[in-house]
Amino acid sequence: MSLRYIGVVYRKELTDSLRDRRTVISMIVVPLLVMPLLTIGMGILSVTLVGQALKEIPKVMILGGEDSPRVVAELEQVKDLQVVPAKADYAEEISDKRVRAAVEIPPGFEARLAAGDPATVKIYMYEGELKSGFGAERLQRFFRELRDRTIRERLQARALPDSLVRPFEIDEKNVAPPEKVGGEILGGMVPYFVILLCLTGAMYPAMDLTAGEKERGTIETILCSPISRTHLVLGKFLMVLTASIATAVLSIASMAFSFGVGKKMLLGALHGAADSALKITVTGKAVVSIFVVVLPLAVFFSAALLALSLFAKSFKEAQSYISPLMIVVVLPAVAALLPGVELNPALAMVPVLNTSLVSKEIITGTYHWGLIALIFLSSSVYAAAAIAIAVKLFQREDVLFRT
Amino acid sequence: MIEARHLVKRFHDRKRGSVCAVDGVSFACRPGEIYGLLGANGAGKTTLLRVLATILAPTEGVAIVAGFDVTKDPQMVRSRVGFLSTATALYGRLSAQEMVEYFGRLHGLDEAALRQRIDELFTRLDMNEFRDRRCDRLSSGMKQKVSIARTLVHDPSVMIFDEPTSGLDVMAARAIVAFIRECRDSGKTVVFSTHVMSEAEKLCDRIGIIHDGRLLAEGALAELRARFAIQDLEDLFVKVIQS
C-alpha cells in the first residue's frame, strides 16, 4: 500500500472534478443554495400560513335557532366569529371552504334550557382542515361558556356552591403553539436533506470517475500505467468521499446559518408575538454530532456508488443504475419522518434509516450515546464492506472491460 | 524484448459462452525491431496486445516483456512499456502538461526528473505552444502528440501500438508512422497491430498474420512472399487465412 500513489491519483481526480461543472454544482452550489432556501422558505411559509389562519375571522352559519333569539344575538356579538346567513347546503358550503363551520341550534333551545330539559347543539366542521378547526373551536368555546353559565345559574337558583359540579379544576396548558409545527417539520427534514445531499454530492463524481472514464476511453490509458488497481480505486474513492463530505459539510454549515437567520427573520415577521416560533436551536454540539454520524454513511455511499457505476459502460447506464438507488435511500430517510418511528437497537442496524433517525434526535437535543455508538459502528461496517467490494470489482477484467 | 509462449485468452460471453480471443499464440520481438500483427477486425489483435501490456491477464501461457513475466510482475512490465492505441484517450479537463505530468508521477518519477523530462519531450515534439491548453480543446494532431509524450514520459524500452493510425487523417497517420520508426531506430522493441496492408508493408521488419486468435504465419515480408509465392501482401493475407 503506497500512500504516495493514492495521493497522486487523488490530486489528479480532485483537479479534474473541480473543473467539471456538474460536480461543482452538486458539491458546492446545491448545498449552499438548497439549504437556506429550504429552511428559510419553508419556515416562512408555514409560519405565515398558520398566522394567517389564526388572523382570519371564520365565517359560520347558524342553523335553526329562530325560537332562541337571545343565543343567536349573543353569537352574532362574538368578536372572532362572523355569522353569515344560513343555507340548506351548509355541509357543501363547509367542504367548499366558503364557510368554516356551522352550528345547529335545536328547536326550542332557550325554552328547554329554562325548563331544564336536555338539548344537543351540533357543530359541523371539516375534520383536519386547520381553518375549519379554528371556527369550530370558537363555536365550541361559546357554547361551553353558555353551558357553564347555565350551570352556575341553576346552582345559584338552588343555593348550591359551584364546586358541586366542579370538584377540581383541570388546567391544561398548550406548550406547542401552532408555529411549532413548522419547526418540527424542519427538524425532521434537515437530516433527511443532509443524507440526500451526501448521496447526490457523491453521485456525479462516482459516475464520472468510473463510467465516465470508460465512456471517454481513458480507462485503458490509466490501466496501462504502472499504478496498482487497488491504489487507483482508493484514490478515486477518496475523491468521491471528498465530494460527499464537502456536500454534507456545506449543507450542515448552511443549515446552521439559515436557522440563525431564519429565526431572526421569523421573529421579526411575527413582531415578537410568538417567541416560540422556532423552538429549535442548532447547537455546535449538534452540528458536530450530525457530522460524525453522517461520516460513515458518506463513506458507504461513496464506495457503493463507485462500485455500482463501475459496472456501467457509460454515464447514461450508470445513471440508470443509480436512480433506483436514490429511491432506496430516500425511503428509509423519509421513514424517519413518520410519526412513531423511534430509534431502537434493531433500527440502529438499518443503514440510512438509523442515521436519519439519530440525526433527528440530535437536532432536537436528544443524545442516546449508546445508540449513537452502535449506529456509527454498524455504518462503519457497511462502509468497509462497500470499499472492499469496490476494490474487488476494480480487479475484475469483465467489469473494467464490459462490452 | 517481448516473448510470448502459447498465450491463450478466454472470455466468458453471456450469449456466445466461452470465447477464445487469443488461442495459443507464440512469437518474439527483439529490440530494434518492429513486429506487425496483421489481422482483420475481431482477429484477436487487441486482446493479444492488451495481454502483453498487462491490461488483461492471460488465461494460459507465458509472456515475458522487458524481462518480466506479465502474470507475475505486471507492474514491472507496465513501468517498462509504452502502450498507445486509439482507445487510449486523454483526460479532457487536464492540460497537455498536466496529462503528461500525471503519468510521469504514476511512473514514480520525482518532480525534478519529471520537469526535465517534460521540457525535453515538449520541445522535441514541438508541443510548448499548447502546453497549458486543456486536452479537450486540442486538435487531433495535438492530442496525438500528447498521447505520444504520455507513452514516452518514462522512457519505455518496449512500445506496443494497437491500431495506432485507425481513424486518423493522412498527416496524423504519417506522424505516427514516423514515430514508430523512430522508436525502432532508438533501439526499442516495437509491436504494432493493423489491418492496413500498406502500413504493415512499409513498417514491419517481421509480420505475423493473426486470424481467429491464432497466429497462422510469421516472418519477414520477403520470407513470406517467398514461402507463399505471392507478391501482393493482401493476396497473401487472404490466402493464409483461407487455408
Question: How far away is chain B from the Cα of A227, in angstroms, using its nearest Cα?
Answer: 6
Question: What is the C-alpha radius of gyration for chain B, rounded to an integer number of angstroms?
Answer: 18
Q: What's the distance, CA A381 to chain centroid?
A: 28
Assess contact for B214 and B27: CB atoms under 8 A. no
* Beta-ladder partners of B11: B19
Q: Write out the three cell numbers for A308.
A: 455500482
Nearest one of B93, B75, B17, B87 to B49, comparing CA atoms: B87
Question: How far away is chain A from the Cα of B47, in angstroms, using its nearest Cα?
Answer: 11
Alpha-carbon distance of A266 to A269, in angstroms, equals 5
**Terminal C-alpha separation, chain B:** 31
Alpha-carbon distance of B69 to B58, in angstroms, equals 11
Interface pTM, i.e. ipTM: 0.90
Alpha-carbon distance of A357 to A332, in angstroms, equals 9
Residue of chain B nearest A227, judged by CA positions: B106
**Higher pLDDT pick, B191 / A329:** B191
Q: What's the distance, CA A97 to chain centroid?
A: 28
Cβ neighbors of B75 (< 8 A, separation 6 or more) are A226, A228, B54
Nearest one of B67, B68, B70, B46 to B58, comparing CA atoms: B70
Q: A-contacting residues of B 78-117, CB under 8 Å?
A: 78-79, 81, 83, 85, 87-94, 98, 102-103, 105-108
Percent of chain B as helix, strand, coil, to the nearest 5: 40, 30, 30
Alpha-carbon distance of B151 to B104, in angstroms, equals 9
Domain range annotation of chain B:
89-155
Longest CA pairwise span in chain B (Å): 56
Assess contact for A26 and A248: CB atoms under 8 A. no
- Among candidates B76, B85, B105 on the partner chain, residue whose Cβ is nearest the Cβ of A220: B85
* Number of C-beta neighbours around residue B197 at 10 A: 16
Residue B17: band (very low, low, confident or very high) from pLDDT cuts 50, 70, 90: confident
SS3 assignment, position B216: strand
Assess contact for A256 and A291: CB atoms under 8 A. no
Question: Could you tell me the domains of chain A?
Answer: 3-52+177-400 (no CATH), 56-164 (3.40.1710.10)
- Among candidates A5, A220, A228 on the partner chain, residue whose Cβ is nearest the Cβ of B88: A220
CB pairs < 8 Å spanning A and B: 65
Place of cell 394567517: A52
Q: Write out the three cell numbers for B173.
A: 497517420
User: Which pLDDT score is estimated for B47?
Assistant: 93
pLDDT digits (tens, 9 = 90+) for B198-239: 889 999 999 999 999 999 999 999 999 999 999 999 999 999
What is the arithmetic mean of pLDDT over B170-177? 86
Q: What's the distance, CA B190 to chain centroid?
A: 7
**Cα angle: A208, vertex A213, A217; to 5 degrees:** 150
Half-sphere exposure of A325 (CA within 13 A, CB side): 19
Nearest one of A94, A98, A79, A84 to A128, comparing CA atoms: A94
Residue B33: band (very low, low, confident or very high) from pLDDT cuts 50, 70, 90: very high
User: Which pLDDT score is estimated for A327?
Assistant: 85
Would you mind telling me the total number of residues written for chain B in this entry? Answer: 243
Nearest one of B2, B81, B86, B190 to A224, comparing CA atoms: B81
User: Could A225 and B107 be called an inter-chain contact, meaning their C-beta atoms sit closer than 8 Å?
Assistant: yes
Half-sphere exposure of A150 (CA within 13 A, CB side): 18
Nearest one of A263, A296, A262 to A372, comparing CA atoms: A296
User: Which pLDDT score is estimated for B146?
Assistant: 94
User: Which pLDDT score is estimated for A179?
Assistant: 42
- Among candidates A15, A20, A225 on the partner chain, residue whose Cβ is nearest the Cβ of B103: A225
Question: How far away is chain B from the Cα of A11, in angstroms, using its nearest Cα?
Answer: 9
Mean pLDDT over the full length of chain B: 92
- Among candidates A224, A397, A401 on the partner chain, residue whose Cβ is nearest the Cβ of B53: A224
Across the beta sheet with A101-105, what order do the strands follow?
A82-84, A59-64, A101-105, A122-125
Nearest one of A313, A218, A23 to B91, comparing CA atoms: A218
* Number of C-beta neighbours around residue B236 at 10 A: 22
Q: How far is CA B134 from CA A157, B142, B147, in A?
A: 98, 11, 13
pLDDT of B139 > 60? The answer is yes
Q: List phi, psi (to 5°) of A296.
A: -65, -30
Nearest one of A402, A1, A20, A23 to A233, comparing CA atoms: A1
Q: Name the burial class of residue A251, with classes exposed (0-12), middle (13-18) and buried (19+) by CB atoms within 10 angstroms of its CB.
A: buried
Q: How far is CA A308 from CA A75, A206, A236, A303, A391, in A?
A: 68, 9, 14, 9, 12
Per-residue pLDDT of chain A in tens (403 residues, 90 and over written 9): 688 999 999 999 999 999 988 888 888 888 888 777 876 777 777 777 777 777 778 888 888 888 888 888 888 888 888 888 888 888 888 888 888 888 888 888 888 888 888 888 889 988 878 788 888 888 888 889 888 888 888 888 888 887 877 788 788 776 554 444 445 555 667 777 788 888 888 999 999 999 999 999 899 999 989 999 999 999 999 999 999 999 888 887 887 777 777 666 656 555 544 444 444 555 677 778 888 888 899 999 999 999 999 989 898 999 999 988 888 888 887 887 777 778 888 888 888 888 888 887 887 777 888 889 999 999 999 999 999 999 999 988 888 887 6
What is the arithmetic mean of pLDDT over B150-177? 89
pLDDT of B31 > 60? The answer is yes
pLDDT of B54 > 90? The answer is yes
What is the arithmetic mean of pLDDT over B83-88? 86
The contact set of A with B (CB < 8 A) is: 5, 8-9, 12, 15-16, 19-20, 216-218, 220-221, 223-228, 397-398, 401
User: Which pLDDT score is estimated for B105?
Assistant: 95
